[in-house]
Amino acid sequence: MRRPVAAYSVALAALVAAVLLRWLLDPVLGDFLPLVTLFAAVAAAVWVGGYRPALLVATVGYLVCDYLFVEPRGSLAFHFTRNLVGLIAYIVTCAIIIGIGEAMRVAQRRAQERWETLQVTFASIGDAVITTDAGGRITYLNPVAESVTGWRQDEAVGQPLDVVFRIINEQTRQPVENPALRALREGVIVGLANHTTLITKDGTEQPIDDSAAPIQDERGQVSGCVLIFRDITERKQAEQQNAERLATARLLASIVESSEDAIIRISRAGTIESWNAAAQGVFGYTAEQAVGRHISLILPADRADEEDQVLARLQAGEPVVTHFHTVRIRSDGQPIDVSLTISPIRDETGEIIGASKIARDITEEKKSEQHIYRLMTELQEADRRKDEFLATLAHELRGPLAPLSNALEIMKRADGNDDLIQQACNTMERQVVQMVRLVDDLLDVSRITHHKLELRKERVALADVIGQALEICRPLAESSEHEVSVTLPPESIYLYGDPVRLSQAFSNLLNNAYKYTEPRGRIWLTSERQGSDVVVSVKDTGIGIPPGMLPRIFEMFTQVDRALERPHSGLGLGLTLTKQLVELHQGRVEALSDGPGRGSEFVVRLPILVEKPEGHRPPGPTVSEHATPTRRILVVDDNKDSAESLAMLLRMTGNEVQLAYDGLQAVEAAEKLRPDLVLLDIGLPKLNGYDACRRIREQRWGKDMVLVALTGWGQEKDRHKSKDAGFDGHMIKPVSYTDLMKLLASLPSELVGQPTEHGG
Ligand code: ADP
């Protein structure tokens, strides 16, 4: 008994009330039922305080009522026969009341305790709990339910459930049936409804999920219902986040899959965990072949630990280059240039659990980079060589000018000293030859590079070609006093080629041998038959060539000694020309040398013309000054020096020469003079050489006149143009004396001595 004082007080009060009531009823009842009101007091005492106060009330009440209301009143005397039955009846009745009362009290206390336990349980549950009675009125709300619904327990209790627990469908916004009411009605457990939103007391909405179960008493009667629900705002948010994450992940996955870059995920241990479609394209392995393998699968042996090192440094928090160009290996074993980006993959705690690698195939980029680099380098080199070449060219052109002007001065002041004049002439001849060679070489190289050099191929004797080459170089050979040995095969060897160009090729080699050998050196020109080829070697005891230069010696403008103050003249074109000319004749040339100071050898191999020569070739016209008859010649050139010097030369060889300085004069003079030969410049004032030629040809007297173009333009197209204009020949300035004599010798002899026809 928790509150005994209160219980005994109530018992005492009930006893007093019972006695008073009996006393009040006494006039009505008299001696009848003297103990009747005590039963109520005993019942009250047992209900409030249990059997102890009830026994006390029953005992004390009996004594008091016996004294007051049982005959003889005012005494406690017990008449055995009169009072025994009444006492027994009283005791039995009190015992029954106390028994029932005590049982009810215990049952009620137990029910109370159970309810309290339930309430404590409900209160400690994380979910919201609402209980109702059988009529659907609220009997209880736990604290969570209070906070979710916004209703306090004391406000809610007694309210119909619909008032406190208002729910709608989240999507349709329509009220939905309350699960508790169905549980009450049907006595079944009603599960969760999806998308349920609770309208709280202040009108805000909260997504919940809920379920309801009927409360049944011992007899199975539905005495109420318990409704359990929870606020799922957070869960919904989490679900939404998950859905968003999932959508993002799917999007990322599709981006990764459709990426043109290989994207690979590896674990910390370097195991490949994912492999996109592009990775297959770049490295050749399918995802099935690659996933689960170690990343060394695509690492070249010499870079085996490259990525491990990057990963280790990332994990150690050390700075690292995560983007670099490197090489990987494809499934077919081919190396592949890639641009690689490595990024760490971290878990939620920030710990590195692996790495993602994005690899881009940069083979093509690399190639074009290298190509561009090679081009940007080649251009620089070309530019450098151009500058060097221009400097060399200027130097080479200036070189002969000093001796030329000196020689002129000497001639002016020689005062009839024939020896001096002869020496000066020799010097001038050498220098002019040198300059002509320079310009010719330049033009020839340009023609060959532009594939414009035309060979006039014919059957030609090797001996003639070599003889001509030796002849070309004779002045230099003589001045350097070399000992030159020439060995030719005993039998005649014929080539199919351009005699002029073949001689040029050999004269370049001889010229170099003379040039790059100290005076009084030894030069050997040997030629021998080797199978269907003839091999010609030009060997010297000269300065030799460093081994490193040998492979490049035939390249344009290549010179071992590039110093402008080098002792030898030249533009670095001679060997280029020789090589190209030899190759145009299906031959080969190679350079040999044991190194500086140990001489050089150039070996030319040319195919021999197999067919037998048809008898003897008539010898070419011999050039002899005395054999040339006197001619009437018109020289036309607007450059007076050029015109007059040529006139002098021609007059010195016994010809009659007239001069004209423009195209109109030329036509007039031709008509007046009727010359055997007109040497006509092309670039003339008033009327150019072509038109002047045409006009002359239009005249009856000009039809058979020999007209030769004399010009600085020597390309094939220039020759064609002059031929079209009606010229008989095309000579390139400066015309050598020999060529001039050859031309005169080739003029028809019947012209000689023919009287000049004057028009009109
Ligand atoms: P150039 O003689 O005008 O410089 P070439 O093309 O004829 O040009 O020769 C290129 C270079 O090769 C020369 O500058 C010289 O350094 C080297 N060379 C050519 N022939 C010989 C040789 N017989 N002996 C030594 N060096 C030579």
260 lines ligand 1 (CB under 6 A): no
Higher pLDDT, 58 or 231: 58
pLDDT at 611: 61
pLDDT at 55: 93
> Which residue minimizes the CA distance to atom 19 of ligand 1?
512
For the segment 267-295, the average pLDDT, to the nearest whole number, is 93
- Indicate the helix (H) or strand (E) that contains 92: helix 80-124
pLDDT at 337: 92
> Which residue minimizes the CA distance to atom 23 of ligand 1?
513
Percent of the chain exceeding pLDDT 90 equals 42
Q: Tokens for 733?
A: 């300035």
| DSSP 8-state code for residue 490 | S
Could you write out the DSSP letters of every residue in 232-275?
Answer: -HHHHHHHHHHHHHHHHHHHHHHHHHH-SSEEEEEETT-BEEEE
Higher pLDDT, 617 or 164: 164
For the segment 116-145, the average pLDDT, to the nearest whole number, is 88
Q: Which atom of ligand 1 is nearest to the CA of 572?
A: 8
pLDDT band at 91 (very low <50, low <70, confident <90, very high): very high
474 CA to middle of ligand 1, Å? Answer: 18
Pocket test for ligand 1, best of 482, 575, 576 (most atoms within 8 A of CB): 575
pLDDT band at 751 (very low <50, low <70, confident <90, very high): very low
573 lines ligand 1 (CB under 6 A): yes
The per-residue pLDDT for range 484-539, each reduced to its tens digit, is 999 988 888 999 999 999 999 999 999 999 999 998 899 999 999 999 999 999 99
pLDDT band at 432 (very low <50, low <70, confident <90, very high): confident
pLDDT band at 660 (very low <50, low <70, confident <90, very high): very high
Question: Do 191 and 198 contact (CB within 8 A), yes or no?
Answer: no
**DSSP E strands: which ranges in 541-661?**
588-593, 600-607, 632-636, 656-660
Residue 157: is its pLDDT beyond 60? yes
Angle at 354 between CA 349 and CA 358, to 5 degrees: 125
Report the C-alpha gap between 51 and 216 in whole angstroms.
Answer: 31
Q: Which atom of ligand 1 is nearest to the CA of 540?
A: 23
| Alpha helix segments (H runs only) across 590-658 | 640-652
The per-residue pLDDT for range 282-333, each reduced to its tens digit, is 999 999 999 999 998 999 988 887 777 777 776 776 766 678 889 999 999 9
Amino acid at 682: I
Percent of the chain exceeding pLDDT 70 equals 94
511 CA to middle of ligand 1, Å? Answer: 9
Question: Do 339 and 358 contact (CB within 8 A), yes or no?
Answer: no
User: Is-cis flag, bond preceding 734, omega within 30?
Assistant: yes
Q: Mean pLDDT of all residues in the chain? A: 86
| CA nearest to 223, candidates 108, 137, 113, 109 | 137
Q: What is the pTM of this model?
A: 0.47
> Which residue minimizes the CA distance to atom 7 of ligand 1?
574
Cα of first residue to Cα of last residue in the chain, in angstroms, is 175
Q: What is the 3-state secondary structure (H, E, C) of 308-319?
A: HHHHHHHHCCCC
509 lines ligand 1 (CB under 6 A): no
φ/ψ of 460, rounded to 5, equals -140, 140
- Indicate the helix (H) or strand (E) that contains 166: strand 166-169
The mean-pLDDT minimum among 394-403, 425-434, 597-606 falls in 394-403
pLDDT at 754: 38
388 CA to middle of ligand 1, Å? Answer: 16
553 lines ligand 1 (CB under 6 A): yes
Report the C-alpha gap between 138 and 157 in whole angstroms.
Answer: 5
542 lines ligand 1 (CB under 6 A): yes
pLDDT at 533: 94
- Residue 481 burial (CB count, 10 A): 10
